[in-house]
Amino acid sequence: MRSRFLILLILGTLLMPLSAQEAPSLASGAYADFEKGDGIFSLTLGTSVPLGFAGGDGYLAPNAYPGFAFSLSYLGFLDENWMVGGEIGGSFISTIADRRLFIAPIAARVAYAIDLSPFVIAPGAGLGMGVSALGEATHVDPLIKLGSSFYWRVNADMSYGLNLFGNVIPQFYRDSSQDMTGFFLEATLSVAYHL
């Protein structure tokens, strides 16, 4: 009787791991780098390149040189992929007439994170306003921002990024014949902190 009980006990002990639930492993893909409530705060520096202007006279080539661009942005995760947030920045651009154009884009942004750990691709779009100043003339205009960020996640707290965004800034005046749309390319590098 004891030998049967001992055999059943040993057999039950050997079969017990088969019925236990398997914990998700890191290799199974159950682990996500980002989750709801996470955030990315980015400090960005780079260049802003005027691409040209479209208006009543057709397309005008840019009469300015590439300039210096900077920005601060925050994107918060709604789930593992979708992010919403905002950005404020500035660009200093010199014209061929030795004048200084300053543009301050302020935008609400949405992005979708594609996790290719340790890399993240985050295409996104933004809507907001562009405050511009050229000499004494200032103007506040709508802003459309389209592009993508490419992050390399160095560790759990920080990433380095490359950002390529196109800014479209339509300007509207009382005299509609002066209406014009400016196109700018931002190519920047960023340090992103994971919150």
Tell me which of 17 and 78 has the higher pLDDT.
Answer: 78
pLDDT at 141: 93
Q: What is the pLDDT of residue 1?
A: 55
pLDDT in tens, 23-62: 444 444 455 678 888 899 999 999 999 999 888 778 888 8
**Please, how many CA atoms are within 13 Å of residue 26, restricted to the half-sphere of its CB?**
2
Least confident of 19-33, 61-75, 107-121, 152-166: 19-33
Higher pLDDT: 85 or 59? It is: 85
β-strands 39-55, 180-194 pairing? antiparallel
Q: Which of 62, 71, 103, 116 is nearest to 89 (CA)?
A: 71
pLDDT at site 137: 85
Mean pLDDT along residues 96-102: 90
pLDDT of residue 146: 96
Residue 70: what residue type? F
User: What pLDDT score was predicted for residue 15?
Assistant: 55
Query: Residue 62 has what pLDDT?
Result: 86
Task: Quote the pTM value.
Answer: 0.77
Tokens encoding 140:
């506040």
Which pLDDT belongs to residue 27?
Answer: 46
The average confidence (pLDDT) of the chain is 86
Contact between 81 and 33 (Cβ < 8 Å): no
Widest distance between CA atoms in the chain? 104
Query: pLDDT at position 57, please?
Result: 78
Cβ atoms 186, 165 nearer than 8 A: yes
* Residues 6 or more apart in contact with residue 50 via CB below 8 angstroms: 62, 63, 64, 65, 66, 67, 93, 182, 183, 184
Nearest to 100 by CA among 47, 142, 137, 51: 137
- Provide the percentage of residues in the chain whose pLDDT is more than 90: 58
For the chain, helix, strand, coil in percent to 5 are: 10, 65, 25
145, 166 contact by CB (below 8 A): yes
With bands split at pLDDT 50, 70 and 90, how would you rate the model's confidence at 18? very low
Per-residue confidence (pLDDT) for residue 9, from 0 to 100: 54
